[in-house]
Every structure is written in C-alpha cells, then in structure tokens.
Structure 1
C-alpha cells in the first residue's frame, strides 16, 4: 500500500511538472516592451455563438532588454482602445507570436528598451 501511494504521488508530481513545462513552451517566451502610440485598428467580429465583440489590432515596434527591435503584432478584445502612451510588457513566443501583455510603469522598462522607445516617438 505504501509503495502504491509513493508511486501515485510520484506520478502526480511528474504530471504537474510536465504541464508546467508545456505551458512555458507554448505560452512562455521573450519579453519585449512597447509604448502605445495609436488607437489600433478597430474591428467588429462575431464569435461562433453569433455574439459580436470589438477587437483592436496593434502593430508596434517592441524592444527587448538589450534594445533589439522586433515588430509586435497583437490584439485586444475591449470596448475601447488601449490607453495611449501606456508602456506594455509583451511575452513573445516564436511559435505563437505575442501570447500575453500587461501594462507596466515607465520605470519598469529596461533602460535600453526605454531609450529606443523614446527615440521612436
């Protein structure tokens, strides 16, 4: 009985670790920073249940912590566009593109990325 319990716990631990690794591979990636300079392109779309929603599409230059540039193409489903002049930290994955983003304060943007963003604007 004790061996069965240890085996079961081991399988659970391995399963959780595998799920974490899969999440990192699919949704994880490199951090890039952008500054919102436009209202984005507004698109009204319909989901599979026939409900309409508003989506804003953005294409902005993003910079990593070393100041290397990459074009960031992402969208958000909101009633209004993102706040202009806001700084965003994006997670970019080579297989999926931008997988997530969050607003950050200017002081949280790495110095080299911050310099490039200020030059671009």
Structure 2
C-alpha cells in the first residue's frame, strides 16, 4: 500500500512540475537566433473588419535586422499595435529567418558592431 501511494504521489509531482514548466516556457523564443533592429520606418497597416463590425489592425514592419556578427538580414514581422518609434528590438528568428517573437531593448544591450550597422 505504501509503495503504491508513493508511486502515485511521484507521478502527480512529475505531472505538476511538467505543467508548470510548459506554462512558463515560451516556445517562440526557445533556441532561436537573435537579431536587432531599430524601428525607424512607418509600419504598413492592414485593417480587417470582423463580422461584429469591429476593425482589427495589424502593423507590419519590413526592415533590415542585424545578427550579433553585424550581418544584415531582411525581416518582416507584425504587431497588434504600433510599436514605439525609434525603439530597438531584439528579434527571435527561426531557421528560415522568420520572426517568432521580439522584445524591446536598450541601445546599451545591443552589441557595438550591430549598433554601428544600425546607425549607418
């Protein structure tokens, strides 16, 4: 009886830990390459009207981004709102250079080689 209770308790603990990990892991960022970009161009805005009459906007950015070695990468990504003008972003790229996620970062967080490329 004690052995069965211990096994069931162990399985429950493993299950709870697995659920907590899955909730907290962002698979859009896990194992992705990073590139950096400054938002210095106006986004292209797409509007879609839902059946309810609500208008949904999508803001598309198409800019050159730079990896940590300073190599230029053409990227296109969207946001559900207009992002802050002149903001620096760290992009998360998959193997085909598709943007899966992004974070706003400070200029001081970006490698110096990349800042030089962005500002030129």
TM-score normalised to structure 2 length: 0.76
Corresponding residue pairs, total: 114
Q: 1:73 aligns with which of 76, 96, 104?
A: 76
Paired position in structure 2 for 1:57: 60
Q: 2:14 aligns with which of 7, 10, 15?
A: 10
Higher CA-based Rg: 2
Q: CA deviation at 1:92?
A: 1.4
Q: CA deviation at 1:95?
A: 6.0
Query: Matches of 2:26 and 2:101 in 1, distance apart?
Result: 13
Q: CA deviation at 1:54?
A: 1.9
Query: Matches of 1:88 and 1:23 in 2, distance apart?
Result: 17
Q: CA deviation at 1:73?
A: 0.5
Query: Matches of 2:116 and 2:50 in 1, distance apart?
Result: 40
RMSD: 2.6
Q: CA deviation at 1:37?
A: 1.6
TM-score normalised to structure 1 length: 0.76
Deviating beyond 4 angstroms after TM superposition, the runs of 4 or more aligned structure 1 residues are 14-17, 47-50
Query: Matches of 1:88 and 1:10 in 2, distance apart?
Result: 37
Tell me, which stretches of 5 or more residues in structure 2 are unaligned? none
